[in-house]
Amino acid sequence: MFIKGNVREYSRTPFVTPVRYSVSVMDVRELKKIQDTAVSVDISKGGLGMITGYPIETGHVLTFKDEIKINNITAKAAIVKWTGKIDSNKYRVGLKFV
């Protein structure tokens, strides 16, 4: 299915930088805190696109180790809105700032 036109609320700007984050996930009936570094791809007023080596899932809430600050954007946390597998150990993730 193809969607015509721009359906994004905010336009994206390239933003390539390491992003240190943490996320709590359930692992065999145990809450586990993951700390990892991803690489951002793009940013908008509403969110961030990044590539990570950990398979985070839609609905996970990430907190950033270092607050993201660029132009008029400041973010400490985001929720995963979508994910996609790039290859066996890389994932493209779309985040919405909270």
Six-digit token string for 40: 């951002």
Q: Would you say residue 1 has pLDDT above 70? A: no
Find the range with the poorest average confidence among 9-18, 35-44, 49-58: 9-18
Residue with tokens 């996609």: 84
Q: pLDDT tens digit string along 13-29?
A: 999 999 999 999 988 88
37 DSSP assignment? E
List the beta strands (DSSP E) in the chain.
Answer: 13-14, 18-26, 31-43, 47-52, 61-70, 73-87, 90-97
Q: What pLDDT, on a 0 to 100 scale, did the predictor assign at position 69? A: 87
Q: How far apart are CA 80 and CA 62, in angstroms?
A: 8
Alpha carbon distances (Å) from 45 to 8, 55, 62, 91: 11, 25, 17, 22
Domains and CATH numbers, the chain: 13-97 (2.40.10.220)
Question: d(Cα 70, Cα 83) in Å, to the nearest integer?
Answer: 24
Q: How many residues does the chain have?
A: 98
